[in-house]
Amino acid sequence: MYQKILVPVDESEAAMRALHEACQLAQSTYAAIYALHILDYAQVAWSSTGLVQQDAQQPQDAVIERTKQIFQQYQINGETEVLNNTGEKIAQIIVRKAQENACDLIIMGTHGLTGVMHLLMGSVAEGVLRASKIPVMLIRHA
């Protein structure tokens, strides 16, 4: 069935719920998980100092540590990667990394925003759905 599942992870509960779902699926299909954390410096701040990177390091470490703990909890063969982004669309990065890593499924959390909030914030999940050539499973978090 599935051999490698990409899961974008961040500090949100939606992302962690998606990771749990991916681990459960990986257990039943003997798939590996590739967890991708993207630091989007374009949204964090525009700064020429090293302060932005230093401030982002602590949450990044916490996300990766939590991801590895979930891998251990489910006894999953998983790998993690952290990417720095300074302007590329997050959805495009996710789709590209899925292709580069021979993933055959993307599982990601979504907040299910609608209306004005959706217009203001956009939707990474929607962008992935539109661009991906492999199946995408969205795990909704209220």
Q: Which domains does the chain have, with CATH numbers?
A: 4-140 (3.40.50.620)
pLDDT, tens digit, 9 for 90 and up, residues 34-50: 999 999 876 655 444 55
Extract the tokens encoding 80: 């993690």
d(CA 37, CA 129): 18
Task: Compute the chain's Rg from CA coordinates.
Answer: 15
DSSP state of 115: H
For 14, other C-beta atoms within 10 Å of its C-beta total 19
Model pTM score: 0.85
H/E element, 90: helix 90-100
pLDDT, tens digit, 9 for 90 and up, residues 86-139: 889 999 999 999 999 999 999 999 876 555 544 444 589 999 999 999 999 999
* Token pair 């021979």: residue: 102
Q: Confirm if 58 and 66 have CB atoms less than 8 A apart.
A: no
